[in-house]
């Protein structure tokens, strides 16, 4: 019966602790998706190398923490397959084969290639691996014959590239792969403590399960509506990171209380932040307890990942048999 369900594939790079942006941007969605889809969620450790090739020692420790975060956030290894990309060598084989049919121009036009080359200036990204990363991403997705890939609007062009590569493969060698459809997810906006997008590279994150003391300190010091200078000034919650956190944390009544009273200066930012902490701190505490329980039994987490990796490997091996046959790389 599970074969009938849509197949969803998504991965995350193990480059550091996960934060509230990951929770609300991806993990919460994964937890919902695992109920009605056959899901494969993986550690994209080879992808981490495309930008972190100079600092590889952080990848494996970050990966274990990341799987702990997955499970603590509600990803259930009995419902979804969790695995390590580099432990399923078929990803590399398919990446190589797809590389034979992917025109260079498609990769050079990729928006993320241009954008990251412009934004990341502290290291050389004029590299074959970096240029080819959409091909690896395509292999990751189609290896499991994914029919749906959760993406934000900004990632739709990347998935379109994967669809084009899958189409080209099918055109040359026969229909092996479905073209993965974007599963558009309206990820809530989560801002960091400095008012920019929450991101480890900006140093503005609130990590999953961070202590009450540290979470409180960060929230109380967080940038709000920059135009609201004094308590009596009306504010605009639509530009405030605290309001975005209320939207994913607080109940409807509180959200509307903030919305109305911020605009009328009925409340100050301190009141608003304290109200947020009433819900956020217990959530962080629950997450911290689950994380600590899992971290105390690292062998169990590793075993779950190994089991998931074996399952992924079996699916990947079947796909690659079909690929080799379609490409006439094995005798019938
Ligand atoms: S009252 Fe709340 S939503 Fe309004 S600016 Fe202050 S922190 Fe932000």
- DSSP states of 86-120 as a string? GG-THHHHHHHHHHTT--HHHHHT-HHHHHHHHH-
Residue 220 Cα to ligand 1 midpoint, Å, equals 11
Is the pLDDT at 58 greater than 80? The verdict is yes
Task: Please state the rounded mean pLDDT for residues 67-82.
Answer: 97
Residue 224 Cα to ligand 1 midpoint, Å, equals 6
Give the C-alpha separation, 78 to 231, whole Å. 50
Is the pLDDT at 113 greater than 90? The verdict is no
Measured from the CB, is residue 245 less than 6 Å from ligand 1? no
Is the pLDDT at 2 greater than 60? The verdict is no
Measured from the CB, is residue 275 less than 6 Å from ligand 1? no
The pLDDT assigned to 109 comes to 87
Index of the ligand 1 atom closest to the CA of residue 225: 5
Q: Give burial (CB, 10 Å; 0-12/13-18/19+) of 236.
A: middle
Measured from the CB, is residue 7 less than 6 Å from ligand 1? no
Q: Give burial (CB, 10 Å; 0-12/13-18/19+) of 308.
A: buried
Residue nearest to atom 6 of ligand 1 (CA): 269
The pLDDT assigned to 187 comes to 77
Measured from the CB, is residue 75 less than 6 Å from ligand 1? no
Give the C-alpha separation, 186 to 119, whole Å. 25
Please tell me whether residue 230 adopts helix, strand or coil conformation. Answer: coil
Give the C-alpha separation, 69 to 14, whole Å. 11
Measured from the CB, is residue 191 less than 6 Å from ligand 1? no
Q: What distance separates the 2 farthest-apart alpha carbons in the chain?
A: 79
Give 156 or 207, the one with higher predicted confidence.
207
Is the pLDDT at 88 greater than 70? The verdict is yes
Residue nearest to atom 4 of ligand 1 (CA): 262
Mutation choice for ligand 1 from 237, 255, 268, 277, CB with most ligand atoms inside 8 A: 237
Measured from the CB, is residue 247 less than 6 Å from ligand 1? no
The pLDDT assigned to 181 comes to 95
> Where does residue 291 fall: left (phi above 0), alpha (psi -120 to 50 degrees), or beta otherwise?
alpha
Q: How many helices (H) and strands (E) does the chain have?
A: 15, 5
Q: Which residues contact 135 (CB under 8 A, 6 or more apart)?
A: 95, 98, 99, 102, 107, 165
pLDDT tier, 152 (very low <50, low <70, confident <90, very high otherwise): confident
The residue with tokens 């009544």 is 253
Question: What whole-number percentage of the chain has pLDDT above 90?
Answer: 82
Please tell me whether residue 287 adopts helix, strand or coil conformation. Answer: helix
Is the pLDDT at 43 greater than 90? The verdict is yes
Residue nearest to atom 7 of ligand 1 (CA): 269
pLDDT tier, 3 (very low <50, low <70, confident <90, very high otherwise): low
Index of the ligand 1 atom closest to the CA of residue 267: 1
Measured from the CB, is residue 219 less than 6 Å from ligand 1? no
Domains and CATH numbers, the chain: 2-189+298-326 (3.40.50.620), 209-292 (1.10.240.10)
Task: Please state the rounded mean pLDDT for residues 98-124.
Answer: 83
Measured from the CB, is residue 269 less than 6 Å from ligand 1? yes
The pLDDT assigned to 39 comes to 98
pTM for the whole structure: 0.92
Is the pLDDT at 1 greater than 50? The verdict is no
pLDDT tier, 87 (very low <50, low <70, confident <90, very high otherwise): very high
Residue 273 Cα to ligand 1 midpoint, Å, equals 8
């Amino acid at each position: 019966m599970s074969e009938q369900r849509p197949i969803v594939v998504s991965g995350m790079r193990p480059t550091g602790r996960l934060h509230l942006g990951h929770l609300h941007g991806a993990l919460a969605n994964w937890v919902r998706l695992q109920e009605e889809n056959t899901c494969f969620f993986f550690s994209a450790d080879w992808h981490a190398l495309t930008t972190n090739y100079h600092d590889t020692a952080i990848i494996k420790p970050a990966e274990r923490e990341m799987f702990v975060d997955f499970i603590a956030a509600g990803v259930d290894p009995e419902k979804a397959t969790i695995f390590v990309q580099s432990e399923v060598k078929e990803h590399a084989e398919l990446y190589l084969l797809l590389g034979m049919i992917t025109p260079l121009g498609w990769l050079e036009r990729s928006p993320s290639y241009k954008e990251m080359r412009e934004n990341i200036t502290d290291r050389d990204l004029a590299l074959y691996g970096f240029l080819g990363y959409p091909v690896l991403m395509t292999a990751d997705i189609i290896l499991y014959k994914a029919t749906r890939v959760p993406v934000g609007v900004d990632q739709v062009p990347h998935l379109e590239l994967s669809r084009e590569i899958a189409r080209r493969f099918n055109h040359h060698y026969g229909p092996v792969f479905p073209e993965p459809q974007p599963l558009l997810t309206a990820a809530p906006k989560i801002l960091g403590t400095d008012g920019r997008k929450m991101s480890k590279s900006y140093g503005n994150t609130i990590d999953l399960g961070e202590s009450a003391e540290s979470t409180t300190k960060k929230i109380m010091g967080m940038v709000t509506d920059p135009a609201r200078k004094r308590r009596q000034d009306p504010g605009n919650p639509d530009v405030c990171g605290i309001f975005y956190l209320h939207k994913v944390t607080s109940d409807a009544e509180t959200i509307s209380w903030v919305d109305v009273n911020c605009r009328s200066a009925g409340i100050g930012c301190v009141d608003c932040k304290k109200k947020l902490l009433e819900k956020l701190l217990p959530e962080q505490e629950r997450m911290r307890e689950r994380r600590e329980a899992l971290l105390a039994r690292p062998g169990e987490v590793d075993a779950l990942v190994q089991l998931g990796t074996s399952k992924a490997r079996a699916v990947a091996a079947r796909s690659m048999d079909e690929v080799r046959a379609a490409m006439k790389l094995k005798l019938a």
